[in-house]
A = this chain, B = another copy of it.
Amino acid sequence: MSASEPSFRGVLAAADRLKGRALVTPLLENAELNALVGGRILLKAEILQHCGSFKFRGAYNRLSRLSPDERRRGVLAWSSGNHAQGVARAGKMLGAPAVIVMPKDAPAIKAERVRADGAEIIAYDRYTDDREIIGRRIAAERGLALAPSFDDVDIIEGQGTLAVEAVAQARDLGAEFDRFVIPCGGGGMTAGCALALEELTPRCETFIAEPQFYDETWGSIASGERKRADSTKPTLCDAIATPAPGDLTLPVMRRLVRGGAAVSDEDVKAAIRFAFKYLKLVVEPGGAAALAAVLAGKIDAKGRIVGVVLSGGNVDLAVFAGILSETR
């Protein structure tokens, strides 16, 4: 049985379950980046996690808590791609068949890798269909457990494990975070990390970076009213273009998130180029949102020790080559 609310205790239990299954991703530092922002930036490189994003953490934690019978029948998830890959890989590791409801226009690399892990894909049109309705119907018909992409206690707690690692890794470098900046879609990673940071390093402030037009989470926190994004707006950041924060994630974020920034496609492209040139890392648009916010000066890092999550690296080759080719 899962608790009804995510907790720090749950994050620690997830960290135990993930031991030896998830990768311990490195916390990286770069002299050029530090010099540019006038602070000390420690990059939690979740692009190096299984399947190229942090999503494996939550997915594995969720699936590992299924009963033997549920596991045998399988799981269903809807996802723009990274969560799908995490669920497919966790399903493969744990012997649970996975069905993924995925937008037709998801990056090809994400669909391809879901298939490589043996999952079944059901495609939908993200401008006209409701993936949740489709997903719930199929899950009911086939008796599949759901693995929601963010609004789920096990998912939130699984994602929070990256902050547990990051705090310990920072201490190994003699550092305590003043701020921790997280790319934010539905808020699963943010809520989980914020719960961990609150206990482990209480003076650290949690910040979120959202795409322009999809900054309804910070809007919902700052205004006290539940906002929704207009999901017809175009953005490069497919992985975090969610229309609204979750019912479980929003209360945690309201309590613990101290600031937010909206990054433009241009901010994100500049961050991707910086990561290529100086960090030697491949970061996808949504995964670069936190770095983009810091590089654009939208979240101030001057004189501070700032954790920045690089949350995913699954970008299509043509898109990446296109971004590199644009000169500024």
Contact = CB atoms under 8 A, between A and B. Distances in A.
A280 B47 contact: yes
Given A23-B29, A31-B50, A318 B313 contact: no
A4 interface: no
Given A23-B29, A26-B26, A29-B23, A317 B280 contact: no
A318 B320 CA distance: 12
Contact of A277 (B31, B48, B50, B317): B317
A307 interface: no
Nearest to A318: B325
A22 to B, nearest CB: 11
Contacts of A321: 321, 324-325
B277 A109 contact: yes
Interface in A255-273: 273
A28 interface: yes
Contacts of A313: 280
Interface string A300-314: 000000000000010
Contacts of A26: 26, 28, 48
A278 B26 CA distance: 16
A122 interface: no
Contacts of A52: 278, 280
Chain A interface category by residue count: 20 to 34
A208 interface: no
Contacts of A89: 31
A282 interface: yes
A281 interface: yes
A48 B48 CA distance: 13
A282 B321 CA distance: 12
Contact of A48 (B109, B280, B283, B317): B280
Contact of A282 (B31, B48, B276, B325): B276
Contact of A276 (B48, B278, B279, B320): B320
A279 B313 CA distance: 9
Interface of A: 23, 26, 28-29, 31, 47-48, 50, 52, 89, 109, 273, 276-283, 313, 317-318, 320-321, 324-325
11 contacts: A26-B28, A47-B280, A52-B278, A276-B282, A276-B320, A277-B317, A317-B325, A318-B325, A320-B324, A321-B324, A321-B325
